[in-house]
Amino acid sequence: MAINKLALIRYRTIDKCLRNRYRKWTLEDLIEKVSEALYDYEGIESGVSKRTIQADIQLMRSDKLGYNAPIIVQDRKYYAYEDPNFSINHTKITDTDLDKMSEIVSVLRQMNGFDYFDDMTDIIARLENSLRKTTDKSDNYIQLEGNVLVKGIQHITPLYQAIRKKLPLLITYRSFKAKDARASVYHPYLLKEYRNRWFLICKPQKGTALITLALDRIIDFMEMNPKDFVPYTGVGFDRYFEDTIGVTKDIKSRAQKVILWVNKYNVPYVLTKPIHHSQQVIKEEEGGTIIRLDVTLNFELERELLGFGECIKVLGPKKLQQTIAKRLKQAAGSYMQPQP
């Protein structure tokens, strides 16, 4: 059962009152204290009804929230805890709660790079140890796509913190095309994942355009003076990458109308797992279906289309059609050469 914020304030206020053994608490007293708490924390002036407090007490007594509060009525008037040491803040974690947390952690552990999840796993292990003498390890029933061999994932957490704290970074980086690494200052804005690779969207100190750095090409980095940080003032990144497949995007890039023919055997796959959220069906034919995407032209789009091989044909724009045709021809040509 989910607990909203107001209900939690009421439960905690009632608990605080009943833990005070130096005063006897009538229902009217509890209503008064809860009303004061709601006003202090949330500015609610209407108070709380007698019926609501009675329902809260019944719920606290039950197992629905795991409280099982031993609330009794003395002299048919005064509410108190039968156990003077009881508090809902001391409620033990149940096996059901533990199972739920363990399931969540088993999923989060598969999200490579964030060491917070490793810390959480340790916490869960300690909780399990306190509740059970022996812990039976169960199999995972969900498996996320991941690649533990990907380089650079150790940078995710410190880069994430640098973005949050708005810290410029001196990054030593070696691109695929460069022979040697170079150190430059960058202002980090966003971490973005694409196909199990992580990228940092940032702005170089000497420049105005956003660039993308692959984390597996980052050699090292160090934090610089936060006073020198240049904040990002462009459109939100959800909008910035809205018309983009992957992470390669120039600020001047604009979405183009990409027309594709998909053969009839792959149409169900493409329709149930769209290449991009802008995908729409233009025309259905006997041998296949024509679809449209509104996306920027980049390397990731080319790679996605090449992955379909002969199952997809680019009808437009002409530039993209020629690029894909050329790359497919080169690929086919490599199989015509003698084996090394």
Q: Does residue 246 lie in a domain region? A: no
* C-alpha to C-alpha distance for 43 and 45, rounded to whole angstroms: 6
* C-alpha to C-alpha distance for 175 and 106, rounded to whole angstroms: 35
Q: Does residue 245 lie in a domain region? A: no
Asked if pLDDT for residue 54 goes beyond 50, the answer is yes
| pLDDT tens digits, one per residue of 116-167 | 555 555 555 555 555 443 344 455 555 666 666 678 888 988 999 999 999 9
CATH code for position 40: 1.10.10
Q: Does residue 28 lie in a domain region? A: yes
Q: Does residue 69 lie in a domain region? A: yes
What's the confidence (pLDDT) of residue 177?
Answer: 83
The values of phi and psi at residue 198, to 5°, are: -110, 145
Least confident of 74-88, 110-124, 294-308, 320-334: 110-124
Q: CA triplet 58, 60, 61: central angle to 5 degrees?
A: 65
Residues 68 and 97 in one domain: no
Q: Does residue 178 lie in a domain region? A: yes
Residues 79 and 116 in one domain: no
* C-alpha to C-alpha distance for 226 and 185, rounded to whole angstroms: 12
**Which is more confident, 123 or 263?**
263
Selection from 175, 158, 55 nearest residue 113 by Cα: 158
Residues 123 and 157 in one domain: no
Cβ–Cβ < 8 Å for 263, 288: yes
CA-based Rg of the chain, rounded to a whole angstrom?
30
* C-alpha to C-alpha distance for 110 and 306, rounded to whole angstroms: 29
Structural domains counted in the chain = 4
Residues 85 and 97 in one domain: no
| pLDDT tens digits, one per residue of 17-53 | 999 988 999 999 999 999 999 998 888 989 999 999 9
Q: Does residue 251 lie in a domain region? A: no
What's the confidence (pLDDT) of residue 318?
Answer: 97
Q: Does residue 250 lie in a domain region? A: no
Selection from 149, 152, 105 nearest residue 125 by Cα: 105
| pLDDT tens digits, one per residue of 187-220 | 999 999 898 889 999 999 988 889 999 999 999 9
What's the confidence (pLDDT) of residue 150?
Answer: 73
Cβ–Cβ < 8 Å for 258, 245: no
Mean pLDDT score of the chain, rounded to an integer?
Answer: 86
Q: How far apart are the first and last CA of the chain?
A: 65
Asked if pLDDT for residue 267 goes beyond 90, the answer is yes
Q: Does residue 97 lie in a domain region? A: yes
Helix (H, G, I), strand (E, B) or coil at 71: strand
Paired sense of beta strands 288-295 and 256-263, if any: antiparallel
* C-alpha to C-alpha distance for 20 and 17, rounded to whole angstroms: 5
* C-alpha to C-alpha distance for 306 and 191, rounded to whole angstroms: 26
**What's the domain range around 266?**
256-336
Handedness of CA 124, 127, 128, 129 (dihedral sign): positive
